[in-house]
Structure formats: C-alpha cells, structure tokens
Amino acid sequence: MSNWLIYSLGFVAQGLFSARILVQWIMSEKAKRVVSPTIFWVLSLIASYIFFIYGWLRDDFSIMLGQVIAYYVYIWNLGKKGVWHKISRWWRWLVVFVLLLTPVVGISFMAGEAETVINSLFKNTDIPMWLVVFGSLGQIIFSLRFVYQMIYSSRKGESVLPAGFWIISLTGSAIIVVYGIIRLDPVIILGQSVGFISYTRNLILWKRNNKS
C-alpha cells in the first residue's frame, strides 16, 4: 500500500479523535462543567479501530499497543451509557461480537507469524529499540488515562471524565508529540497537538466547577 494511502488512513483516525475532543469541549463549555457525552466514546471506538490498522501498516508497535489498551475501555463506557441496549438484540450481539473478536483475531495472526512480526516491529531500522520503548511509554501513559477513567467512573456509578484524566492526557500527549517529531510522523504530531488546548481547558472547567 502506498504511503499516501496509509497516511490518509491515519489522518482519518486522528480527525475522528480530534472531533471527539472538540465535541466534548463544546458540550462542556455549554454545560459549564466537564461532561462525558456518548458521541465522545462512539468516535473514540471508531477512531481506535482505524488507528490500530494505521499502526500495523506503519510497523509501529507503540501505536498498536496504545489502541489495544484503550479499545475495551471505550466499549465499557458505551455500555455504561446504555448504548448497547438501544440496539436491537441481533445487531447488538453482532456488533459486540465483531468488536470483541477483532483484537483476538489480530493477536492470533501475529502469533502465527511471530518471527515476521518481531522483525518488523522490534528489528526495524527505521524505529530503533530505544524509540520503540520511548513511544510505547508515551502510549501507555496516554492510554492508561482511560483505565483510570474507568476505575473512577465505576466508583461513581456513571461515565465521567475526572481531572486526573486530563492531567494524564497532557503528560502522555507531550511524550507522544516528541516521539512523532523524531519519527517525522505528521499524523501523530497533528493529532496530538490538537488535544493540548482541550485538555488544558477541561482542567480549567473542572477547577472552576469544583470551586463552585
């Protein structure tokens, strides 16, 4: 597949990621507090699916790792929002089955082609091992914000986006931007840069709401 097609796929995913942030930001501004809208999680799930494929085509382990960590959290939040119960039973089972099965199929394929996968992901001259570790660290931090959000939401009994979520977002995003610059990856650089303003603004809204 040509590079421009691969980059196009990445930009579509990042466009959806950016759209979720903008929608969440606008809805939070209107509510004068940080909100967790359903559309945020819908766009997250679709974008994550596409971005994983982009990472695969780019032989980028850190991107794939980041998406796998967050993927099931998106599904969980949609369940908490009651989305799955709004779909007819047969469609619900089909959609959930496909969503849950896709990562399993991907991992199974990787296991069957273990040597080839290891060579392309960890012995790639374009991405030295120290950079793989650095990028993976950023993706892990960035993705763990959703694990934190899920635990926090479970205790609250509803899907919410707490202050810690935005603090972790800023930290992980900063590392990923540096990684993207080193990799000369415009998809990563542009996608992560867009979120900085929203993460900061959500922290401000949270602080104001907490004071009031």
Q: Considering the entire predicted model, what is its pTM?
A: 0.74
Q: How confident is the model over 57-74, as a mean pLDDT? A: 80
Rounded CA-CA distance 78/66 in Å is: 19
Rounded CA-CA distance 11/187 in Å is: 6
- Can you give the residue range of the structural domain that contains 89? 3-211
Asked if 168 and 148 touch (Cβ cutoff 8 Å), the reply is yes
Higher pLDDT among residues 152 and 107, named by residue: 152
Rounded CA-CA distance 64/53 in Å is: 8
Asked if 13 and 47 touch (Cβ cutoff 8 Å), the reply is yes
Asked if 206 and 179 touch (Cβ cutoff 8 Å), the reply is no
The 10s digit of each residue's pLDDT in 69-104 is 788 888 888 888 888 777 777 766 766 666 666 666
Rounded CA-CA distance 96/85 in Å is: 11
CB proximity list for 92: less than 8 A, separation 6 or greater: 84, 85
In total, how many domains does the chain have?
1
Residue 117 has pLDDT above 60, yes or no: no
Which residue type, as a one-letter code, is found at position 60? D
Provide the pLDDT confidence category of residue 151 given band limits of 50, 70 and 90. Answer: very high
Q: How confident is the model over 29-47, as a mean pLDDT? A: 89
Residue 211 has pLDDT above 70, yes or no: no
